[in-house]
Amino acid sequence: MSERTISWFSCGAASAVATMMAIKNDSTVVPVYCETGGEHEDNVRFMEDCERWFDRSIVRLRSDEYEDVWDVWEKTRWLAGINGARCTTELKVKPRLAFQSPTDIHVFGYTADKSDVDRAIRLRENYPELNIKTPLIDANLTKENVLAIVMSAGIKLPKPYILGFHNNNCKTCVKATSPSYWALVRQSYPNEFNRMAKLSRELNVKLCRIKGVRSFIDEIPMDHSIVNPIAPSCDFLCHIIESEFADLALEGKDD
């Protein structure tokens, strides 16, 4: 079985720059994107811009069983918990496992920011069988750096960054516990917020923490200030990240 280098493109600035760096180092790199059906519509434009930048097409992977994140949540009746989010498992992990081969080299867009460096370490610890490359960390590029690089390439950042989100995740990231994040979702995507508020009530899932107390997202005050609206990066370690953010919220630092 021949060796293949896969760059996991997420429609975020970091994965875009990591993919471009990988391509410059190895012209045979294959950019791959796991479609969730829950991300901003502007991602289509951003992906096309990146394909022109990369001078190659991005391989799209989709679940054979679920249409999008809402299909996963509504059919499984499961949002998120200590073991992570079912949507990540069904729409990202399973398609990835079906696509990859044991000899593949995997490029991930973790930045040189401490939180990403820690996650890269955990990725290697949790998946020791994978040959992993983190070009942004190797080049000491931070999230701020990669945003600037994308813009300097003449590519407009995906709309969620403009709206104030830290990551280009799905419109409603069920791994997020920050009330500031959900307040920004309510402001930016009112229809999706209301749909999630209804579904989380039906499933009795309190997605956010207000002053360390688990709460329904529709309990967030309408005048809640939007400060540091953190949502975790949507990657293969979502169960670890969910635990990290739960601990952070318990300490009252998520708001």
Question: How do residues 131-179 score in pLDDT, each as one tens digit?
Answer: 999 999 999 999 999 999 999 999 999 999 999 998 888 999 998 889 9
Decide if 176 is inside a domain. yes
* 128 domain-assigned: yes
Crossing angle of helices 179-188/190-202, nearest 10°?
130
Domain span at 239: 5-250
Look at residue 8 and tell me whether its pLDDT is greater than 70.
yes
Decide if 168 is inside a domain: yes
The pair phi, psi for residue 7, each rounded to 5°, is -105, 120
Check residue 253 and give its pLDDT: 41
Q: What average pLDDT does the segment 106-124 reach?
A: 93
- The answer to whether position 97 is within a domain reads yes
Residue 10, domain CATH = 3.40.50
Q: Which pTM does this prediction carry?
A: 0.85
Work out the mean pLDDT of the chain and round it to a whole number.
88
pLDDT tens, position by position, 11-27: 999 999 999 999 999 99
Instruction: Report the pLDDT value the prediction gives residue 252, as an integer from 0 to 100.
Output: 36
Residue at 29 is within a domain: yes
* Number of domains making up the chain: 1
- Answer whether residue 49 is part of any domain: yes
Q: Is it the case that residue 58 has pLDDT exceeding 90?
A: yes
- State residue 229's pLDDT score: 57
Residue range 54-62: average pLDDT?
Answer: 97
Q: What is the pLDDT of residues 68-86, one digit of tens each?
A: 999 999 999 999 876 678 8
In a domain, 147, yes or no: yes
Top-confidence residue, 241 or 206:
206
Has residue 255 been placed in a domain? Answer: no
